[in-house]
Amino acid sequence: MRTMAVIGTGLIGTSVALAAAGRGVSVYLSDRNRAAARTAAALGAGRAEDPPGPVDLAVLAVPPSRIAEVLIAAQARGLARAYTDVASVKAGPERAVLARAPEPSRYVGGHPLAGRERSGPLAARAELFQGRPWALTPHRLTSRAALDRGLELAELCGAAPVVMRSREHDEVVALTSHVPHLLASVMAARLRDGPAGVPLLAGQGVRDVTRIAAGDPRLWSDILRSNAAAMAGVVEELRADLARVAAALDVLAEGDVLAEDDVFARDDVLARDEALARDEALARDEVFAGDRGAGHDQGVRTLEDLLSRGVAGLAGLPRPGAAPPVAEAGLRILVPDRPGELARLLGAVTVLGISVDDVAVEAAEESGLRVRVPVPTADAERIGAKLGADGWDRAPAASVPAR
């Protein structure tokens, strides 16, 4: 690929252009907002001008609802030999292209799975796509040449191409991107009218849950409405789960009658005896006791069930940078019951390159704690010998079964 046009020099378009320009491609930039195209050019992403002739590939970096119209206009003036886009919704634009574009065979849908909360060309980074998936969704008329250009673009940007059907893509991103964005927004919206203490006690958890809600509302509204059909089913399932949880919370809150009249906070001179009498009456009613009847138990089960399903669902998310699984043996070390001995072992295994997070106490025995240290099978002998030389009481690696 020697020449490329990028239409739309926002975050993604400019990042694609920077990556391509950095690999020697001649890039021609345009944007409805002329200042944005000039900004991208001044960053080194290419030239803010029309190409002298048809380019090898045109990248349409516009919102999903605009892809077909922009493609039609570009093909009408013979801008490129192949076309792709970078929108996070694929089926709707594909249908519109098939229905209306002069040369649908020259178009392959694309979607690099990368982004930032900031938008606009100044937020662009040539390395934005490094190591990220880049979905390509050829339709039934896409030519081999167009698909190849899409693959070449993904590789040029350092991304890992994933070829899939547009429908499948949209169902996946509804679950992995669009509905999560919606939930982040719904949660963040509630913070606006929260009590005064919110900024004091807000921590990393709520920041993580709501982080992606910072995205540009106009762009995201376009994305969400373009994938409304795939999202609707997921949202229905979420609402069913939340309805069950809401019912459980109502039952569980019922015993909490004092919550409403706030007897302890109301009046600091209220005699404690009076309060005690009220509380004891409540205690007799088993408000504070463990067993509060079938509704309460059912409510607790509903919560535990949802929380457990959540933990199970996380297993399907790949951990970024996670090491590929290797055959693993477990060294067993007996740690004497002296203060700091276990900390000393953790320090020793860290030095050997083993994650402390994988170490486990298996049992507390008479003579000390039996600790399991997972090590790659290939390294078990060497690491065992090293720990033994440091004075740790260990079982020989060969005798320990793999986990």
Q: Taking CB under 8 A as the criterion, which residues in 142-181 touch a second copy?
A: 162, 164-169, 171-173, 175-177, 179-181
Residues 6+ apart with CB under 8 A from 24: none
Would you count residue 138 as binding a second copy (CB under 8 A)? Answer: no
Q: Which of residues 336-365 bind a second copy (CB under 8 A)?
A: 336-343, 346, 356-357, 359-361, 363-364
Residues 6+ apart with CB under 8 A from 258: 264, 278, 279, 282
**Do the beta carbons of residue 372 and residue 332 sit within 8 Å?**
yes
Nearest to 374 by CA among 328, 322, 335: 328
* Length, in residues, of the chain: 403
Would you count residue 140 as binding a second copy (CB under 8 A)? Answer: yes
CB burial string 52-87: b at 16+ within 10 A, e below: eeebbbbbbbbbbbbbbebbeebbeeebbbbbbbbb
Would you count residue 403 as binding a second copy (CB under 8 A)? Answer: no
Minimum gap (Å) between residue 292 Cβ and a second copy: 10
Would you count residue 204 as binding a second copy (CB under 8 A)? Answer: yes
Query: Which residue in the set 56, 85, 94, 379 belongs to the binding site for a second copy (CB under 8 A)?
Result: 94
Q: Which of residues 270-299 bind a second copy (CB under 8 A)?
A: 270, 272, 275-276, 279-280, 282-283, 288, 290, 299
Report in angstroms the alpha-carbon separations of 125 from 20, 160, 371.
11, 17, 45
Query: Which residue in the set 1, 151, 235, 352 belongs to the binding site for a second copy (CB under 8 A)?
Result: 235
**Do the beta carbons of residue 367 and residue 323 sit within 8 Å?**
no
Q: Which of residues 32-71 bind a second copy (CB under 8 A)?
A: 34-35, 38-39, 41-44, 46-48, 65, 68
User: Of the two residues 83 and 220, which places its CB atom closer to a second copy in the complex?
Assistant: 220
Residues 6+ apart with CB under 8 A from 19: 126, 127, 128, 129, 156, 157, 158
Q: Which of residues 310-339 bind a second copy (CB under 8 A)?
A: 310-318, 320, 335-339
Would you count residue 81 as binding a second copy (CB under 8 A)? Answer: no
User: Of the two residues 151 and 188, which places its CB atom closer to a second copy in the complex?
Assistant: 188
**Do the beta carbons of residue 215 and residue 181 sit within 8 Å?**
yes
Minimum gap (Å) between residue 311 Cβ and a second copy: 6
